[in-house]
Amino acid sequence: MTADIEIRNVNKHFGAMAVLEDLSLSIKAREFIVFLGPSGCGKSTLLRMIAGLETVDSGEIAINNERIDHLPPGKRGVAMVFQSYALYPHMTVRDNLAFGLENIGMSREVIDARINEAARILEMPHLLERKPGQLSGGQRQRVAIGRAIVKEPKAFLFDEPLSNLDAALRTRTRLELAQLHQRLQSTMIFVTHDQVEAMTLADRIVVMNNRRIEQIGSPMEIYERPATKFVAGFVGAPAMNFVEATLDRSAENAAARFADGVSVQTEIVSNQLSDCKHTFGIRSEDVRIVAAGQGNADGVVEVLERLGERTLVYARLGDGQQIVGSDAGNSRIAVGHKVGLAFDGQKSHLFDESGRAWHAREA
């Protein structure tokens, strides 16, 4: 079963504090949507409003064109996986899975069939008679997902479900969730503050900040063409380089000039840009390390981070700005070397004072 979800002009306050302001969003059936944002941006609240665990102050939420914002949580046809798993501690795994189905008066045979199917999908038939206290973190996670699967919901809601797992298990579970989505073809909404989870799982990412949606787009859109400076800085590690710049708009494409005279020719069309101060932005992998004097600017290497497949180079420019560039994994650069930095004009971004982003024309 799957469903599209429509959120229209939703507002939410906790006391005097606004949590969500006039937020609208359409989620298509079978889509894997990730709400990504820093703590306190309202992403979990939005998920809980869809689940029915928080009321909606104003606005509408509809599933398959049917308004659900006034229905109790159990009647909305959604299933949720909690960050803490929220398993019933005194029930066996089987009873945990059966509880929701028994409550709607489903027959024993159907319940057993669904539990067995879910246990098979999640490879946990041997866990069915155990209690949550006897399971490891990863196993509890499976049970929590199993409890959602047996309900055959219209939509799955995940509230930071991987944050309590260790790194290796998180990577594995992430992969399993992606496979589960392909297999079930259900609508899934996933809340996280981890951009790697968002990038790897999502069909579309909803980047949220400060009560609002900053951008909705596919992972690569978000990464390559961030709509705002916030998105550009939040997504990607290390964070995008930002440098204050003045613009030279005399040519067709604008050139950015840094304080110490360094100039970068971008491929961003000049006449769409305003006269105000701009910030130049570029990701570390789009700053190549070349011999001193050969690039747009020279800098002195302060820190090296060797990641194996590439080396991150933290270089200090003449005017004191730090730029992170990227070199080959077997780079011979050492701390203290003077290097040249070559900026890729095609991959450069400009942000105006309101934070709005401008990008090169799409190739």
- List of residues contacting other proteins (CB under 8 A): 51-53, 72-75, 78-80, 82, 84, 86-91, 99-100, 103-104, 131, 133, 147
Closest CA to 34 of 169, 159, 137: 159
We find the least distance from the C-beta atom of residue 113 to other proteins, in angstroms, to be 18
We find the least distance from the C-beta atom of residue 85 to other proteins, in angstroms, to be 8
| Three-class SS state of 311 | strand
79 and 152 in contact (C-beta within 8 Å)? Answer: no
Complex with other proteins: residue 98 or 357, whichever CB lies closer: 98
Q: How far apart are CA 82 and CA 161, in angstroms?
A: 6
User: Phi then psi for 18, rounded to 5 degrees?
Assistant: -80, 135
We find the least distance from the C-beta atom of residue 152 to other proteins, in angstroms, to be 13
We find the least distance from the C-beta atom of residue 44 to other proteins, in angstroms, to be 12
Q: How far apart are CA 189 and CA 27, in angstroms?
A: 9
We find the least distance from the C-beta atom of residue 86 to other proteins, in angstroms, to be 4
Complex with other proteins: residue 122 or 297, whichever CB lies closer: 122
Closest CA to 262 of 348, 194, 193, 163: 348
We find the least distance from the C-beta atom of residue 236 to other proteins, in angstroms, to be 32
In sequence order, the 6+-apart residues with CB closer than 8 A to the CB of 275 are: 247
The bridge status of strand 155-159 relative to strand 78-81 is parallel
In sequence order, the 6+-apart residues with CB closer than 8 A to the CB of 259 are: 244, 319, 321
We find the least distance from the C-beta atom of residue 159 to other proteins, in angstroms, to be 9
From the DSSP assignment, how many helices (H) and strands (E) are in the chain?
8, 21
Complex with other proteins: residue 147 or 349, whichever CB lies closer: 147
Complex with other proteins: residue 14 or 88, whichever CB lies closer: 88
Complex with other proteins: residue 133 or 308, whichever CB lies closer: 133
We find the least distance from the C-beta atom of residue 319 to other proteins, in angstroms, to be 39
Q: How far apart are CA 126 and CA 119, in angstroms?
A: 9
Complex with other proteins: residue 147 or 283, whichever CB lies closer: 147
Complex with other proteins: residue 75 or 306, whichever CB lies closer: 75
Sign of CA dihedral 161, 139, 156, 72: negative
Name the β-bridge partners of 32.
188
| Three-class SS state of 315 | strand
We find the least distance from the C-beta atom of residue 296 to other proteins, in angstroms, to be 48
Each as own residue / partner, the long-range contacts of residues 112-120 (CB below 8 Å, 24 or more positions apart, any chain) are 114/150, 114/152, 115/146, 115/150, 117/150, 118/146, 118/149, 118/150, 119/146
Complex with other proteins: residue 85 or 280, whichever CB lies closer: 85
- Does residue 125 have a cis bond before it (omega within 30 degrees)? no
Complex with other proteins: residue 63 or 87, whichever CB lies closer: 87
